[in-house]
Chains A and B, each alone.
Chain A
């Protein structure tokens, strides 16, 4: 945490009721207030987009140094325009506040929830692998489905779409391309019909198998081993 420049409540020169000292303190408090404002989204109280960028940058650097992955969940509220059109913009704002509150309750203290803009959100999960990030996304999804917004005595059902991605020390990504990749999975979740979670599937994430079929058959195809120990690669028999 950022500490004030001076911790003492007294003027360093010992003056009683020093006006300069009082002014310095007032400015320090103002500075602190503005600093908080500069990275907070005023409507939801979550971090804003500016903070998101610097936090991702920092977490990615941590990943490169410690080897622990950083995960990112991009979220978009489904049919948000419809809420605005049906119930008015005030209801829309309430919905944004409501989901922020629910999600914050369902995240860990180390997670960094941000409002990305409009009805889009982003959560940074420091030191978290993809599997754990997916679990977190499912928790956010379930929490939202179970907590409809109460608006003027009516229940408004809310859902969201989620794109989840992980950055590992092996990836060569910038902040922008990492966000873009997670955003891509969010888009996929939208296209697949909303209220779901999309992420990089293991099959596509896996690099080409270390030992190719050609190498396998060279290793075991030739009769260099005793006959009893020759095993045909499983994939080959499947094909046949």
Chain B
């Protein structure tokens, strides 16, 4: 078998993971995707929480078929994508299906080729993974070009994010991680938590963590979740929306540069 470079001209792929649940991955993924689409690029959001999907809930989607239907029944991936905006597609997963939460190597390979062919229609693919360090979380993280770690400034979220970084770097040779701090008081707090985690990662794992930024604690965020509308749409001038818009801008620069974790595969 020879090594070939995948997706040379394909989309920028990134996944948002956290280790700990409830830190706002899904909300940030969806809003980042909206922000990117607003800037004129085509975005696909993949609901990577294969057991307890909730991108569809967050957006009040009418789901036709899910990743499970694609894998189990050979449903057409293109038809499974739900467009919430002309340039923004969602690939939904199914909720409450525990057996799919743990896909095997064969399923992952299949999912990989599905995402790859779907990706041809988009400039960005954002995967919102499940919490934890399950096999699918690890697989999504090795599949994409960019790994974004979402965490809040509390000790459990920090420990879990650190644990995920450790496993991915030690066992899967991932070297580039972008930290996105959520629910921070201000930019200074975000930077402080980042600095601290970066020091520990540098010392113990010889890794240079990258700083994506902080999303301030903002009532617009929880309102968006409750109303099932992205906060970036209903409160575009809120602090959180402005921050997300800025980070979308940063993600756009990834399209121009060679991805740090460009995948090669057999």
Q: Hey, which bits of chain A sit against chain B, CB under 8 A?
A: 64-68, 169, 210-212, 214-216, 218-220, 222, 224-225, 229-231
Contact = CB atoms under 8 A, between A and B. Distances in A.
B3 interface: no
B193 A225 contact: yes
A222 to B, nearest CB: 7
B155 A231 contact: yes
A229 B152 CA distance: 12
A80 B106 CA distance: 45
Contact of A225 (B155, B166, B200): B155
B60 to A, nearest CB: 33
By Cβ-Cβ distance, the 5 closest A-B pairs, closest first, are A67-B104, A66-B104, A224-B196, A210-B163, A218-B200
B200 A65 contact: no
A212 B196 CA distance: 17
The secondary-structure label for the interface of chain B is helix
Interface of B: 102-107, 133, 135, 153-155, 158-159, 162-163, 166-167, 192-193, 195-197, 199-200, 203-204
A131 B163 CA distance: 26
B137 to A, nearest CB: 13
Nearest to B166: A210
Nearest to B19: A210
Contacts of A219: 155, 158-159, 162, 196-197, 200
A67 B103 contact: yes
Nearest to A214: B204
23 contacts: A64-B105, A65-B104, A65-B105, A66-B105, A67-B102, A67-B103, A169-B104, A210-B133, A210-B163, A210-B167, A215-B162, A215-B204, A218-B203, A218-B204, A219-B162, A219-B197, A220-B155, A224-B196, A225-B153, A225-B193, A225-B196, A229-B154, A231-B155
Contacts of B106: 65-66
Contacts of A64: 105
Nearest to A63: B104
B166 A67 contact: no
Contacts, number: 59
A27 to B, nearest CB: 39
A225 B181 CA distance: 14
A210 B163 CA distance: 6
* Residue among A67, A212, A214 with most chain B CB within 10 A: A67
Given A67-B104, A220-B155, A211 B203 contact: no
A66 B103 CA distance: 7
Contacts of A212: 204
B103 A216 contact: no
Contact of A216 (B107, B135, B153, B159): B159
A68 B154 CA distance: 35
B196 A222 contact: yes
Contacts of A65: 104-106
Contacts of A230: 155
A36 B133 CA distance: 45
Nearest to B170: A210
A91 B33 CA distance: 74
A206 to B, nearest CB: 13
A40 B163 CA distance: 49
* Residue among B159, B200, B204 with most chain A CB within 10 A: B200
A217 to B, nearest CB: 10
A225 B204 CA distance: 19
B166 A211 contact: yes
A69 B107 CA distance: 15
Contact of B192 (A67, A216, A224, A231): A224
Contacts of A231: 155
Contacts of B104: 65-68, 169
A220 B156 CA distance: 10
Contact of A211 (B162, B192, B195): B162
A19 B163 CA distance: 74
Nearest to B192: A224
Given A215-B200, A216-B159, A218-B204, A67 B105 contact: yes
Given A67-B105, A68-B104, 8 more contacts: A65-B106, A67-B102, A211-B159, A218-B200, A219-B155, A219-B200, A220-B155, A224-B196
Nearest to B158: A219
Contacts of B200: 215, 218-219
